[in-house]
Amino acid sequence: MLQQYVKVDAPVVVLRGVRVIDGTGAAARENQTVVLDGGKIAAIGPASLKAPKGATVLDLAGHTVLPGLVGMHNHLFYTASPNLDAHGHSEPPRVIPEMPFTSPRMYLAAGVTTMRTTGSMSPYADLGVKKLIDTGKMIGPHLDVTGPYLDGAATPFFQIHPLTGPDDARRMVNYWADMGATSFKAYMHISRAELAAAIEEAHKRGIKVTGHLCSVSYPEAVAAGIDNLEHGFTANSQLDPDRKPDVCSPGATRRTLAAMQPDTPEADALIKLLVDNKVAVTSTLPVSEQGVPGHAPLDPRAMKAMTAEAREAYLYNRNLRNTAPGNRGAADSDRQLRTDMALQKKFFEAGGLLVAGPDPTGNGGVLPGFGDQRGVELLVEAGFTPLEAIRIATLNGATYLGLADRIGSLAVGKNADLVVVKGDPSKTIGDISKVEIVFKDGVGFDSRRVLDSVTGRYGQY
Amino acid sequence: MTIGTPEAAAKAVDFYADQGATSFKAYTNLTRAELGAAIQAAHRRGLKVTGHLCSVTLREAADLGIDDIEHGFMAASDFKANKQPDLCPGGGTSEAELAADPAKADALLDYLVQKKVAYTSTLAVRDTARNSPGIEVYAPDVRALFENNRRQPKSSPDAPMPSGLKQLVGFAKAFYDKGGLLLVGTDPTGGGGVVPGFANHTEIENLVQGGFRFEEAIKASTLNGAAYLGRAEKIGTVAAGKQADLVLIAGDPSTDVRDVRKVEIVFKEGVGYDPKKLIDAVRGKAGLY
Ligand SMILES: [Zn+2]
């Protein structure tokens, strides 16, 4: 059944005539030969490199090979607002249905070979998807399954268990780690005490904790020992003048970002704090740009993958954003995006570990896989070179996950997780979307066929 | 979730009871030891456990103290010839298997009654060939999925009751007549033709077609459920002082059971809801979210 999605499955595969972008940030190398053997990268060398006997040779002139993307904010769910109409009205509750069929396929087809689920609404489903993929019963990336969201009593999502205090946070971490969760994510209404307790339990097990914060500021989270902060610099509340401890006030994070321009001492101090404490930052520009009218392109591939209902809801949301009277908040959203981009750049240049993920939520315009590719494009828009952007989306994620000895860059001995794209993303970053074959552990999947198999299904299952 | 040991089963019960769960359900691949541990953990907290079983027979589950059996005899592996302890032999229990030993079936019903195990009848899930009212509220894609993958060829609502269904109603009736606590559910799963709400009416129709008096079918669908949940003093019958949870129907379902679908107002705690408006608000969306 799944064999129809496989383009190449041979013990030894040789990719000839390819441009190699190795994911470390090093310059692209032209006209290379890459040998994959037994699911590993066996050799990378010049055109003169001999193909081993009996190898399957693919002539890929005009193509580029890069490491499989490591998606660091990649949910397996979709966000639905029931009965959303053209005016933006919907009925409660906001529903987060799991997309266990479409999401893993869309990620894989886009070149994502490893990803973190970064907060789960259906943790048993996420763990089940991982098991099905690992046993070959489904196709999809390698998964780092994040446990259910760790959020406080004020959580707005009915599918989240509201923590009742630090002991409850400890119970949650231990229970879900026992069930198989390999990371955790704190959310917008967690208290400092709950966050500290969760981190302490997780660290006892060697498990990392990230956070999409608000009630807890970035410096407070660093003090609690957090490993990673989601959404760049857009979820920090430290400079909100009306800030109350442990409370997420509306607008607190926007006010903080507005006050934290890249050339301020506050920005310098925060970035130094993060770098000194080895706290990674996840760039999620695709979900942020949705707030800026006209910024996100209307991706025909996304339109094709969505159900009619999901497409309608997204187009309503998109239209509302683009046509709001006087484009309310438009200039502000654009400024916020620019500030976040500049802070991410500054953090990276200061030696911070910047990783990337799309966060397929929000208004419905960020889709699995396509969003990962868009994230790399937006990093280039933020001022990174294409090679830096690719490194952020590959090797840096692998480094955070502690997997850099096996994945994240193209090097002899590493797993054969790599992407073949048409064109040259080192010059034209948009070429990162022209994916043709995605190798995962040496098996080459046909990107187009995988995508065709989810046509009209994203939003349903 | 998949349970690995009796300790894990008890731990799961405690974890979710702490988070607010007020009942538990065992499924088809638990061992007897796991089920026993879960039941004990739940009972320590005064919570009930039901089961859609297979690896554990109904008689074994009754001995372990289970409170309710889902799907009645549809899920009774007691009648499978190849049943091994703690293993699910696969496949439901067929009409022929259930017919093979009437005395055994009767004795099992007696045993469930004696052990005060409730029995949840879910007939609609076996009746999607004749009946799938409500499928028009599904999203078009979801409806197509059902229509294109029908497990049984479509017949008509006026077709006679299939023999397998008749047999299952017969067991439910025998259980009821022996004094067992018969409950009614719908189970909107399977091939997709069981639509929430609509299927509750199908269930009542089936019970009546299969030999229940209308009043008995209603009692099983209302008061018995309330009694199982320990809420019979507040809900489950129309009586002075009880909560105003009631249904107004245009017609007399006690003379023609099909009138049970003619719901005009649903009162919940005294607030009367308009079923037509509620259904219109989900038309074309059911099955998506
Ligand atoms: Zn997210």
Q: Which pLDDT tens digit goes with each residue over B232-247?
A: 999 999 999 999 999 9
Q: Is 90 exceeded by the pLDDT of residue A99?
A: yes
- Domain assignment of residue B102, yes or no: yes
Q: Is B251 on the interface with A (CB under 8 A)?
A: no
Which residue, among A122, A168, A179, would best test binding to B if mutated, counting the most B CBs under 10 Å from its CB?
A179
- Reported residue count of chain A is 461
- The answer to whether residue B270 sits within a structural domain is no
Partner-chain contact B288 A307, CB within 8 Å: yes
Whether B3 shows a pLDDT value over 90: the answer reads no
pLDDT tens readout for residues B196-253: 999 999 999 999 999 999 999 999 999 999 999 999 999 999 999 999 999 999 999 9
**CB-CB neighbours of B68 under 10 Å:** 20
The encoded tokens of residue A205 equal 């097990």
**For residue A326, is pLDDT > 70?**
no
**pLDDT band at residue B275 under the 50/70/90 scheme:** very high
d(CA B16, CA A47): 60
Using the Cβ of A456 and the Cβ atoms of chain B, whether some distance falls under 8 Å is answered with: yes
Taking an 8 Å cut-off on Cβ atoms, the answer to whether A97 and B1 are in contact is: no
Residue A324 has pLDDT above 80, yes or no: no
Query: Which residue of chain B comes nearest to A459, CA vs CA?
Result: B288
Q: What is the CATH number of the domain that holds B52?
A: 3.20.20.140
Lowest mean pLDDT among A64-73, A155-164, B136-145: B136-145
Both structure tokens of A308: 């009619």
The Cα B74–Cα B87 span in angstroms is 17
Determine the average pLDDT of the residues in B267-272.
98
Mean pLDDT calculated for residue range A18-24: 98
Place of tokens 């297979």: B54
Domain edges within chain A: 2-68+408-452, 69-400
Q: Is the overall model pTM greater than 0.90, yes or no?
A: yes
Domain A2-68+408-452 falls in which CATH fold? Answer: Urease, subunit C; domain 1 (2.30.40)
Mean pLDDT calculated for residue range A213-240? 98
Instruction: Give CA separation, A292 vs A319, A335, A369, A429, B92, in Å.
Output: 12, 9, 21, 21, 55
Residues of A in contact with B139 (CB under 8 A): 307, 309, 460
Distance A173 CA to ligand 1 centre (A): 19
What whole-number distance in Å separates Cα of residue A71 and Cα of residue A75?
Answer: 10
- Flag whether B288 is in a domain: no
B182 CA: distance to closest CA in chain A (Å): 32
Q: Is B269 on the interface with A (CB under 8 A)?
A: no
> Which residues of chain A neighbour B140 with C-beta distances below 8 Å?
308
State mean pLDDT over B23-48. Answer: 98
**Structure confidence by residue, pLDDT tens digits, A276-307:** 999 999 999 999 999 999 999 999 999 999 99
CA of A120 to the centre of ligand 1 (A): 9
Does B264 fall in a domain? Answer: no
pLDDT-derived band of residue A84, with 50, 70 and 90 as boundaries? very high
Q: Give the nearest chain B residue to A91 (CA atoms).
A: B281
DSSP three-state, residue A57: strand
Cα–Cα distance, B42 to B94 (Å, whole number): 32
Confidence of residue A232 (pLDDT cuts 50, 70, 90): very high
CB neighbours of residue B82 within 10 Å: 9
Residue A461 has pLDDT above 90, yes or no: yes
- C-beta neighbour count of A259 within 10 angstroms: 15
Q: How confident is the model at residue A435 (pLDDT cuts 50, 70, 90)?
A: very high
What spacing in Å lies between the alpha carbon of A282 and ligand 1's midpoint? 11
What tokens were used for B163?
Answer: 């023999």
Establish if B115 belongs to a structural domain.
yes
Task: Return the CATH class of domain A69-400.
Answer: alpha beta
Cα B150 to ligand 1 centre (Å): 38
The predicted complex's ipTM stands at 0.90
Assess if residue B16 is contained within a domain.
yes
Q: Count up the domains in chain B and report the number.
A: 1
Tens of pLDDT, residues A327-380: 667 789 999 999 999 999 999 999 999 999 999 998 999 999 999 999 999 999
User: Which value, to the nearest 10 degrees, does the dihedral of the CA atoms of residues B189, B192, B197, B199 take?
Assistant: -90
Assess contact for A320 and A362: CB atoms under 8 A: no
- Average pLDDT for B60-78: 97
State pLDDT tens for residues A165-202: 999 999 999 999 999 999 999 999 999 999 999 999 99
Q: Which pLDDT belongs to residue A328?
A: 65
The alpha-carbon gap from A441 to the nearest alpha carbon of chain B, in Å, equals: 28
Cβ atoms within 10 A of the Cβ of A351, count? 11
Q: Closest-CA residue in chain B for A128?
A: B1
Percent of chain B with pLDDT over 70: 100
Residue B120 lies in a domain: yes
Backbone phi and psi for residue B161, each to the nearest 5 degrees, phi listed first: -65, 130
Mutation site, B143, B278, B289, interface A, largest A CB count within 10 A? B289
Evaluate whether residue B250 is within a structural domain. Answer: no
Residue B14 structural domain: 6-237
Pairwise CB contact (< 8 Å): A171 & B1? no
Question: Does B141 contact A80 at a Cβ distance shorter than 8 Å?
Answer: no
Angstrom distance (rounded) from CA A245 to CA B271:
41
